[in-house]
Structure 1
């Protein structure tokens, strides 16, 4: 009997010898200022969730750099663990369509499923509504790609307007819109995330929450209010598990987050668990379905089926 799969819908990889990550110069992230590989992920992601072990993943860009995306795509073509890539390209460029076509035609290009931009770092309160950005988003839509929305809680109005203006572009809210868990002030975030969830083409990643909490003292009780809002507003059929590893190492790591999600799912039905842990991500990122029942650590050949 095939064991149910676990999909990690959001993690990162970087090789500092090949491509610098300037954001790692921040003293607050010294502990993750090293290279992280798929083998590192296999070695650390050992805690099951609802009896499931890691089967496949979605690797997500870190820097605004097309060559990084090319690296990730080429890696996906060789690495059995990776099922899809969320890349980066300049949405404001008049040549965005040509860049997307080139990425899709290059090594591993079939693994490109979505693009992401670090809107959280943009000071323009209407960045996602700029005409040049919307032209780029239309290029994504026209090529059957998706968009990963990375905003902070005070920018959720941009995500809502994006959903309104692009109802035919599949969108996923990364890290649940970064709720201010450490500040224990979720009212504004909850109001906006419920508005966003009113758009059925938007799904949400249950990821990145522990790094929004107090890194040294958070407990499941700190995360549960956010989980309850997400479950009630999006429903399990529009939620997907993500680790945000290795950034998650700043606040406990892959296994501690997995154990927390396991606890949060304890009251859910099996079909709801399936959605959160595999179904939503598989549908959104068009991942190959689990076919062998084995965990990722044991897989040595890709089943692209």
Structure 2
């Protein structure tokens, strides 16, 4: 039997509730993940799944978190890239990005992300101060991760069109309404974003957009088929969204579902989705050397 292809997990989190609260983890539905999750918790599951490197993603809009994530990356070999947070609207954002790059682990800062999904203004990404910050991200040689909901995708499309020098990575496929079983209007917005060459998408987070108690691979297929047709394997990357995925599925189950849903791409296509795209877009080192 041919061994599974090596995997780069392009999207996961860690948090320590003894260091700071995760104020978004509220209510009964999220109770199972209201505890500390560390790299030591992830490593056995990732190793068993054939994961050779990961991208660690911010969770809160707190300036201290990004240096902490970079230090974690610096201290070990699993985390090859960090998606951090900084205030895009700050006048000194260029200096802040340079300071982050100079920290231990700063060479593994690959992208910046802001919780746009929580902004009440659906066109927050188009504010002049935000666009200025996004230009600074591009000038620093970094990528920008988009965490948006479907109604915010049109603004993401316009921002990406205005900033062709910046690569935009759409997290969790823009959070399609999987539980409702509809692709409208998400699919149209997604295709508009994919039509821009400076955009990439993560095959991540779909199990928690489905019914967490009863989802099936077939529930996800209309959405992953849309992603494949819109972006192609060269602009898709797998992410587990661990430990958030644990609300609906274990690590191995999420990875197995993604492999099944991309099976029609063949070995070359799956190499892109499960490692090549993340390595190229985020500028990660070769997994063999991580």
- The TM-score by the shorter chain falls in which range? over 0.9
1:47 & 1:123 partners in 2: Cα distance? 41
Unpaired runs of 5+ in structure 1?
292-302
Structure 1 position 27, deviation (Å): 3.0
Q: Please, which of 158, 175, 178 is the counterpart of residue 175 of structure 2?
A: 178
> What CA distance in whole angstroms lies between the structure 2 residues aligned with 1:255 and 1:152?
26
Unaligned runs of 5+ in 2: none
Give the counterpart of 2:191 among 194, 204, 210: 194
Distance 1:46 1:56 in 2: 9
After the TM superposition, which residues 121-160 of structure 1 pair with which residues of structure 2 at under 5 Å, given as runs? 121-160=118-157
Tell me which residue corresponds to 1:45.
46
| TM-score scaled by length of structure 2 | 0.96
1:244 aligns to what SS in structure 2?
Answer: coil
TM-score scaled by structure 1? 0.91
- CA distance in 1 between counterparts of 2:264 and 2:128 reads 44
Structure 1 counterpart of 2:97: 100
Partner of 1:251: 248
For 1:46 and 1:98, the matched residues in 2 are separated by: 37
1: CA distance, partners of 2:94 / 2:252: 39
**Structure-2 residue corresponding to 1:9:** 10
- Matched residues, number: 288
Render the CA deviation track for 1:99-137: whole Å, top value 9, x for unaligned.
111111112111111000010000112100001101110
| SS of residue matched to 1:191 | helix
- Please say which of residues 22-31 and 225-234 is displaced more in the overlay: 22-31
Deviation string, structure 1 residues 114-163 (Cα, Å, up to 9, x no partner): 00001000011210000110111011111101100110011110110111
Q: CA deviation at 1:25?
A: 3.2
Structure 1 CA distance for aligned equivalents of residues 46 and 99 of structure 2: 33
Q: Deviations over 1:22-79 (max 9, x none)?
A: 112333211011111112112233664xxxx110000000000111111000110011
What are the equivalent positions in structure 2 for 1:280-295 lying under 5 Å apart?
A: 280-291=277-288
- Report how far residue 286 of structure 1 moved: 0.8
Runs of 4+ in 1 over 4 A off after TM superposition: none
Root mean square deviation, CA, Å: 1.4
Checking the alignment, whether the CA contact within 8 Å between 2:204 and 2:238 is kept in structure 1 is yes
Residue equivalent to 1:25: 26
Specify which structure has the bigger relative contact order, considering alpha-carbon pairs within 8 angstroms and separated by 6 or more residues.
1
Of 250-259 and 272-281, more deviation after overlay is shown by 250-259
Aligned with 2:87 (options 79, 85, 90): 90
Q: Please report how far the alpha carbon of residue 3 of structure 1 lies from its aligned counterpart in structure 2 after TM superposition.
A: 8.1
Conserved 8 A contact 1:47-1:259: no
